[in-house]
Structures are given as C-alpha cells and as structure tokens.
Amino acid sequence: MLDNNVFLGELTRKELGEAISSGTIKGAIVPTGATEQHQDHLAMIHDTVSVTEIAKRAATNFYPHVLVTPTVPMSVSEHHMDRGGALTIRPDIHLEYVHDVCNSLKRLGVPKVMVLNGHGGNKRENLEPVAPDVMKRIDDLGVTYVTYWETASQSFYEANLELERSAGHAGEFETSFAMVVFPERIRPNEVNYDNAKLATIPKGGHILDAVVAGVTERVQQMLDEA
C-alpha cells in the first residue's frame, strides 16, 4: 500500500487482498454525497467533495486500518429539482446501490463498514420511511449509518455559528467549510444569500476540526464494537 493512502480505489488487487487477508483492514467508510444546486456561489458537487474530504481525514487517523471507498456522487435530491437543478436518484434505488457497495465490502472480508452521509436528502430519517426494507437489509449487514454534521454537538454550533445550528444549505456552515477546504469552488462575486455572507475562514476551520473529530469518534466506536 502507498504510504498514507486510505482510498480503496487507489489500491491494486494484490495490495487490497493482502491488506484484508492479513487482518490489517479493520473497516471501511462509504461516503455518500450529492450533485445539486448550492445557490449561485457554491459548486453543485459541494456535498460530494465535502464528505470525501471528511472521510479521508477520519480514515487517516486510523491508517492503515480503515479504507475509504469511492464516494457515491448522486443521490436523493428531488427537492432541489425546482430550485435550479440536481441529478437525483430515487430513494430506494440510492439505498439499493449503497447496500450493494456495503455488501461487496463484507464479501471481500472487510469486517466493519460505515456509510458516511454528506447530504440532507440522504439522512436516515428521510430514507427509512420510504425504503424500510432496503434500510433493514443494510442494518442486517451490521453497517453503521452516520450523517457527518450530526457528530458535532449543538453546543458547538451555538458557540461557533451566528445563525445556523446545523449544516445549513449553502449558508454559513457550508460556505465557511468551502473557504477552508476548497476555496477554488466558491464564486465570491455570487454570494447573495444572507446566511452565506456570515461565512468566514475561522468558522470553516472550527467546523472542519469538529466534524472530523466527531466522525473519528464514531469510527472508533464502530471498530470497538464486538
């Protein structure tokens, strides 16, 4: 394996097989994002690149024991189709896809799997009512399902954000995050949303640290489970 590489897709067949058969691989993260409008100032791929970065940083804390699969880049975004556009997937189809990715990891011999969600439309409470049978099969695989911004406490949001108390869409949270992690994806002259005008680099740094720490803690909990 390449030093500090946590991406499963960057491994060769031999490297992956040896890492699993030797017991080096203890778990894997399956990030899920979206491709949808994020106002006029953020790229439509925002959710996908955000959750990929968080998964990478969290997995690196466990190197070489946790892998990150390719991120699912399109998902449940029907609610954005009339707000400027998205590439949207039906909830049951999205979950079937995620199930098959997780099942593939289990079949390969990866003992613990986490779905790390980075998009509001993919939150468990949104998906389970419309596709309960598929979610049950994901649960039956022993998969941990986590939405990354929910790993930070309410007190964190109260202390570090002015208006938002969660990952507001294209607002204070997400724009601050983008300022730190991928500023090249911001169109600064198109920031017309009031919440986004409150975004700052220091806020973005605090957000990044908090959610990576929160996801890292959840990964550790997953690995510690019998």
> Number of folded domains in the chain?
1
Distance CA 190, CA 174 (A): 15
Residue labelled with tokens 């700052």: 200
Q: What is the pLDDT of residues 163-176, one digit of tens each?
A: 999 999 999 999 99
Q: Residue 144: what pLDDT?
A: 98
Say whether pLDDT at 226 is over 80.
no
Mean pLDDT of 10-35: 98
Instruction: Classify residue 3: in a domain, yes or no.
Output: no
Q: What is the pLDDT of residues 129-161, one digit of tens each?
A: 999 999 999 999 999 999 999 999 999 999 999
Say whether pLDDT at 1 is over 70.
no
Instruction: Classify residue 1: in a domain, yes or no.
Output: no
Q: Residue 223: what pLDDT?
A: 98
Q: What is the pLDDT of residues 67-100, one digit of tens each?
A: 999 999 999 999 999 888 999 999 999 999 999 9
Q: Is the four-CA dihedral 152, 153, 159, 164 of positive or negative sign?
A: positive
> Between the CA of residue 91 and those of 53, 96, 113, 122, what are the distances in Å?
24, 9, 20, 8
172 by DSSP, 3-state: which?
Answer: helix
Say whether pLDDT at 2 is over 70.
no
Instruction: Classify residue 178: in a domain, yes or no.
Output: yes
Mean pLDDT score across all residues of the chain: 97
Q: Residue 55: what pLDDT?
A: 98
Give me 115's structure tokens: 């779905």
Whether omega before 132 lies within 30 degrees of 0, making that bond cis, reads no
* Domain that residue 151 falls in: 8-221
225 by DSSP, 3-state: which?
Answer: coil
Instruction: Classify residue 2: in a domain, yes or no.
Output: no
Instruction: Classify residue 226: in a domain, yes or no.
Output: no
Mean pLDDT of 4-31: 97
Q: Residue 23: what pLDDT?
A: 98
Instruction: Classify residue 90: in a domain, yes or no.
Output: yes
The DSSP code sequence of 113-171 is EEEEE--GGG-HHHHTTT-HHHHHHHHHTT-EEEEGGGGS-HHHHHHH-SS-SS--TTS
Instruction: Classify residue 136: in a domain, yes or no.
Output: yes
* CATH code where residue 45 lies: 3.40.50.10310
Beta strands in the chain, from DSSP E residues, in sequence order: 27-32, 35-36, 66-68, 86-87, 112-117, 144-147
Distance CA 38, CA 48 (A): 12
Distance CA 166, CA 158 (A): 9
Q: Residue 60: what pLDDT?
A: 98
100 by DSSP, 3-state: which?
Answer: helix
